[in-house]
Amino acid sequence: MPFPNIDQPETIEIEPGLRLKRFDGNIDKMLEGYHDPVVYQNSEGIFDEDKIPDMEYITRMCHYLDSVGEMYFIQVLEDSEYTSVGDVTVKPENPPIAIWVDKYRGVGIGSKVMTAVISRLSSLGYKKITGSIVYKWNVASQKMHERLGFSRVGETDKEYIYEYVIADE
């Protein structure tokens, strides 16, 4: 349990037709998403085709994320049924978001999901998100962070580092 004595919700409704569904351990649906170059380059920083995430990589990633935060599938309502289009982990340091399905990128879902992450962390009593890492080539994610009020507080040769003040300390 990543947040002691706190039950993870089964779902977090973001808006009609968009929700977060608690990670159920089913990583099969993630494999295709993490084979998309947009995802593995922007989310994982991988450009070497020999290192494209395989099932072992995704399994390790999910076990880690599920142990340090509340991991969810990002789901949209399609034809009266929810389908997973990405994943997110609610945690106060570097909460990762990946949208696996191309048609759902660039339409505001990432911003809505990050807003839900901020809201969930606030409800858990957190005052800040720290160490939110965005690769320098991922301009869309940079713009999202800045539009939501994140401040760029550092950088490395490949990354910008952002933080967000949830509430005054």
Indicate if the alpha-carbon torsion angle 59, 14, 38, 152 is positive or negative.
negative
pLDDT score, position 168:
59
Of the candidates 68, 76, 72, the residue with the CA atom closest to the CA atom of residue 30:
72
pLDDT score, position 14:
98
- Token digits of residue 103: 């048609």
Each residue's pLDDT tens digit, 112-156: 999 999 999 999 999 999 999 999 999 999 999 999 999 999 999
Residue 164 near residue 129 (C-beta atoms within 8 A): yes
Helix (H) or strand (E) holding 13: strand 11-15
d(C-alpha 86, C-alpha 29), whole Å: 9
Helices 109-123, 139-147: axis angle to 10 degrees equals 50
Q: Where are the beta strands (DSSP E) in 23-166?
A: 70-78, 81-90, 97-99, 128-135, 151-155, 159-165
- Token digits of residue 49: 């085709």
Q: How far is CA 156 from the centre of its chain?
A: 21
- Overall residue count recorded for the chain in this entry: 169
Q: How far is CA 86 from the centre of its chain?
A: 8
Q: pTM of the predicted model, to two decimals?
A: 0.94
Give every residue of the chain whose pLDDT is below 50, as ranges.
Answer: 169
pLDDT score, position 5:
84
37, 42, 58, 92, 105 from 51: Cα distances, Å: 11, 14, 12, 28, 23
